[in-house]
Structure 1
Amino acid sequence: MEKTVLTINAAINAPVKKVWEMFNDPQHVTKWNNPSPDWHTPKAENDLREGGNFIYRMEAKDGSFGFDFGGTYDEVKPHERIAYTMGDGRKVHATFREEGGVTHIIENFEAETQNTLEVQQTGWQGILDNFKSYVESN
């Protein structure tokens, strides 16, 4: 069965070195990793290397729902590319490219079957948009 791959992207007004650090450092991840203001990430762990694992705890701020989001890194090319396999086996690829002080991130991720494609696209894009705002304001 062929997997559906969704794509999100952002152009961030910051150099790739800063973008990379804020994208991967758990102290930063806990500040931007949410799709909307009513969600947060109270805990993040990240072993950014091929074969390393990450796990982020995402929760509704009202305590009504929460889940762990994690995976294993398949490829890490600093300031260029991250590929990982999520805990449920889906693949994600993120590329980072700087042009004139603007860093472009493109993420491709395999869709899951519990939520509509639109819900997944909106949620993942919301997280990336929140990341962009966080980087540009810090």
Structure 2
Amino acid sequence: METAKKTTITVSATINAPVAKVWDIWTNPEQIKQWTFASDDWHAPYADNDLRVDGTFKTTMAAKDGSFSFDFAGVYTEVENHKLIKYVLGDGREVKITFTEEGNMTKVHETFDPETQNSIEMQQSGWQSILDNFKKYVEEKK
């Protein structure tokens, strides 16, 4: 019997900061609002985060001109402090994020199930842009 291979998308970045700082900025709602968008014409006016197994999170991502917004939300399924976050989005897609300390650097590696509305390439580009924005924000925050 054959099993279907599940398509996933991966994005990653190596951040010039220790894992404790990276983790805090990734998980703190006030910090999340500062970096969770792919381009400068978007922002994140709301973020809530209960980082524990069965805890929930929600971040509102919105165009600054008010033309569009959506909530990115889910439930945590696994949390290992400074190392691993897994969650399930409202539509059932799964996301896994690993944080690997490499000296004074931290590698953030995200793998996620794609949605069906946008191309794989568009989704990968969008998530990578957000991760790149995160990297820039962390590295500029002294």
Please, what TM-score do these two structures have when normalized by structure 1? 0.98
Cα deviation digits, residues 52-97 of structure 1 (max 9, x gap): 0000000011111100110000000000000000011000000001
Indicate whether 1:83 and 2:86 are aligned. yes
* 1:3 CA displacement: 3.4
Indicate whether 1:68 and 2:91 are aligned. no
Indicate whether 1:30 and 2:23 are aligned. no
Inter-partner Cα distance in structure 2 for 1:90 and 1:126: 20
Q: Which runs of 5+ in 1 are unaligned?
A: none
Indicate whether 1:6 and 2:18 are aligned. no
Aligned mate of 1:114, from 114, 117, 120: 117
Inter-partner Cα distance in structure 1 for 2:75 and 2:103: 32
The ranges of structure 1 where at least 4 consecutive aligned residues each deviate by more than 6 angstroms after the TM superposition are none
- Correspondence for 2:54: 51
Please, what TM-score do these two structures have when normalized by structure 2? 0.95
Pairwise CA RMSD of aligned residues?
0.8
Inter-partner Cα distance in structure 2 for 1:31 and 1:68: 16
Secondary structure of the equivalent of 2:92? coil
Inter-partner Cα distance in structure 1 for 2:46 and 2:96: 23
Higher Cα Rg: structure 1 or 2? Answer: 2
* 8 Å CA contact 1:26, 1:44 repeated in 2: yes
Secondary structure of the equivalent of 2:17? coil
Q: Which runs of 5+ in 2 are unaligned?
A: none
